[in-house]
Structure 1
Amino acid sequence: MSYKVIVDSCGELTEEMKRSGYYETASLSIDVDDHHIVDDETFDQKRFLALVAESPNSPKSSCPSPERYMEGYRCDAKRVYAVTLSAELSGSYNSAVLGKNLYHEEYGQKDIYVFNSRSASVGETLIARKIGECEEAGMAFDEVVRTVEDYIESQHTYFVLETLETLRKNGRLKGIKSLVASALNIKPVMGSTPQGTICQLGQARGMKKALEKMVEEVVRGVRHPEEKVLAISHCNCPDRARRVKEMLLEKISPRDVIVLDTAGISSMYAADGGIIVVV
């Protein structure tokens, strides 16, 4: 096996990626009151959402340990890449880097590179897919790193959620001062900054208009859409995701489209009914 890609579990893997044997998930964990949930193949989204709805407290997440990443790097693959949730939102990136340093101390030199996605969810999915495309094209390790870092620079993340409470309570909305009261049914349209933090792009009254506003932002921001893969993830709302896909395809023609249900960490932050778009 010439290469391996480790994606922390905020990034969803497609069925094709799972079957390929090149991709591995490093699981984060979630605590909802006394319930400890590992974000792996056993994650039950409906049960998790029910636990969150019943709890007066905000769920808390924990990133993979450096030792977990180190063990992931310890494999037969000659080149190993890790893709993590934005370093501005989680300790997963720092943990992956420390795991790399521990590996080198314990086992010696190996080509290992950790990508800070500066995104989340399907943003990580697209980055992991890009690594695979570069490897399959026969690029050298350093060329893969440069190409994928350039790809991350060009990537944009957008989202509309039914509630921003989990993000707010967990300190992920620092610097955003103008969020309006949810009692008015105003839904902010959010996005990522080049640094990997969260910003507000706009707002609209009601989810339907907010999604339309998000689509406008996606179309305005995308360059050369025919070269891009459009990725949509949703938390327990496939019909809503399908409508967003249809609205986008009426305006742009990407080379491929991926639609995935959110895994554990993405479900925690997106909350029931949330939609994330990355292109």
Structure 2
Amino acid sequence: MSYRIVGDSCSDPTEAMKQDPHFRFVPLTLIVGDTHVTDDESFDQKAFLKLVAESPEGPKTACPSPEQYLREFECDADMVFAVTLSSKLSGSYQSAVIAKQMYEEHHGEDKKIFIVDALSAGCGQTNICLRLQELCEEGKTFEEIVEAITEYRDGMKTLFVLESLDALKKNGRLTGLASVIVTVLNIKLVMAGIGGVIHKLGQERGIDRALKKMVSIAVNEGTDFEKKRLCITNVNCRERAEKVRDMLTSQVKFRDAVIVDAAGVSTVYASDGGIIVTF
């Protein structure tokens, strides 16, 4: 059966995904003060990071409309899978669900549509998109794919370390006292996305020590690495991402390892220098 995989623009794509007609991406809108930026192929990361650094207000995002998803669902494919960032972080998932309902009201059930709440972001969505394509190419039925990708999603781990907490400060996610302590002591937080919700796992002084702690947590808490794909999103820090990849792959064997550059939404969430890891 023919297929299409629709990701929102937090699904940081590989270069191959950008060129593959099976993949389509629905943009979110990035908001900094009075400036609105569409998170599509025109996104300029360096200009956006400069805009954020100079703004007293923290960046925000606005989810795609159901109509944007609907346009992607109205295609010749027999099966459509939409992958959205965590429903705990954005309304993107709900927009995709409404679009599915709209499609079925107008067209009946002439095609199979499944919406995946990634319960993650960035490379977590990339990871799910790539696994979906593998399942489609293997000739699995729609029902088999839904079952397999749900299990894959539920077994996936998301860890991240942020270089900068400026966006959190500007949005009031850190108290004034916490902001001062974290900045003065050069504290870097090691965090995880668990069930789509952000949790703090630890902290270290300095980015290198925090990344090593994240790698240690990944190695100690992960299982069946040889069956999993390692995906890493980097925000303007490719060399750092390669270092994390090498630290992980020197200790455990993954079946594949992929590094992707952050698009706009991941840049908002992880900020300049941020690293997100999923497997």
TM-score (ref. length: structure 1): 0.94
Q: Answer whether contact 1:172 1:198 (CA < 8 A) is retained.
A: no
Secondary structure of the 2:10 match is coil
Q: Answer whether contact 2:225 2:254 (CA < 8 A) is retained.
A: yes
Q: Which residue of 2 aligns with 1:159?
A: 160
Q: Give the drift of 1:166.
A: 2.6
Q: How many residues were matched structurally? A: 275
Give the 3 Å change call, closer, same or farther, for CA 84–170 of structure 1 in structure 2. farther
Structure 1, unaligned runs of 5 or more: none
Q: Give the drift of 1:168.
A: 6.2
Map 1:204-243 onto structure 2 (within 5 A). 204-243=204-243
Q: Which residue of 2 aligns with 1:81?
A: 81
**1:61-112 deviation digits (Å, cap 9, x = unpaired):** 1111011111111000010000000001110001100111111112221210
Report the identity percentage: 47
Secondary structure of the 1:230 match is strand
Q: Which residue of 2 aligns with 1:129?
A: 130
Amino acid in the other structure paired with 2:187? I
Map 1:195-274 onto structure 2 (within 5 A). 195-274=195-274
Q: Which residue of 2 aligns with 1:190?
A: 191
TM-score (ref. length: structure 2): 0.94
Q: Which residue of 2 aligns with 1:52?
A: 52
Secondary structure of the 2:196 match is coil
Q: Answer whether contact 2:169 2:179 (CA < 8 A) is retained.
A: no
Amino acid in the other structure paired with 1:234? N
Structure 2, unaligned runs of 5 or more: none
Instruction: Establish whether residue 10 from structure 1 lines up as the match of residue 10 from structure 2.
Output: yes
Q: Which residue of 1 aligns with 2:23?
A: 23
Q: Give the drift of 1:265.
A: 0.4
Give the 3 Å change call, closer, same or farther, for CA 184–112 of structure 1 in structure 2. same
Instruction: Establish whether residue 145 from structure 1 lines up as the match of residue 146 from structure 2.
Output: yes
Using the alignment, how far apart are the partners of 2:265 and 2:82 within structure 1?
17
Amino acid in the other structure paired with 2:125? E
Using the alignment, how far apart are the partners of 2:275 and 2:128 within structure 1?
19
